[in-house]
Amino acid sequence: MRSGVLVRVPHALREYTNGQDEVLLEALDVASLLRSLDATFPGIRDRVVDETGQPRRYVNVFVNEDLVRGDFEAARLHPGDVVHILPSVAGG
């Protein structure tokens, strides 16, 4: 098993990750994972949460296959987890 958490980066945010579609990080919860991600790729966290820390309305974060609802601090992570950042079904 991997020692870290694998983040799958959506296409729209790969301009922040120099084109990387996956990033491996160490984090205990989704909130700290996003901060770590932002430390490596400045600005990317702002695309997932707004300045109040709330998830953007049309962005979904999954841990493995479970949608994280509400509090990112409470969404615990474990080595080997895969975090998916995905745009929700929206637009028009």
Partner 1 sequence: MAKTVKKGSTAVLVGTKKGAFLFHSPDRGRWSRIGPYFEGTPVYHVMLDPRDGRTAYAGATSEHWGPTVHRARIGGDFARAKEAPKFPEGANLAVTRIWHIEPGHPDEDGTLYVGVEPAGLFRSDDRGDHWRSFDALNLHPSRGGWRPGNGGLCLHSVLVDPRDARHLLVGISAVGAWETRDAGATWTPENRGVRADFLPEKYPETGQCVHKLAWDAAADGSVFQQNHCGMYYRGAGGGRWTEVSAGLPSTFGFPIAAHPHRRKTAYIVPLVGDFNRVPPKGQLAVWRTGNAGRTWRRLTRGLPGPGAYMGVLREGLAVDRGDPVGVYAGTNTGELYGSRDEGESWRTIAAHLPPILSVSAGEVR
Query: Binding to partner 1 by residue 3, rule CB under 8 A?
Result: no
Residues in binding contact with partner 1, number by CB under 8 A: 19
Q: What letter would DSSP give residue 54? A: P
Query: Binding to partner 1 by residue 73, rule CB under 8 A?
Result: no
Residues 10-49 within binding reach of partner 1 (CB under 8 A):
12-13, 15, 42-43, 46-48
DSSP per position, 6-44: EEEPPGGGTTTTTT-SEEEE--SBHHHHHHHHHHHSTTS
Q: What's the N-to-C CA distance of the chain in angstroms? A: 41
Enumerate binding residues for partner 1 (CB under 8 A).
Answer: 12-13, 15, 42-43, 46-48, 50-52, 54, 56, 58-59, 87-88, 90-91
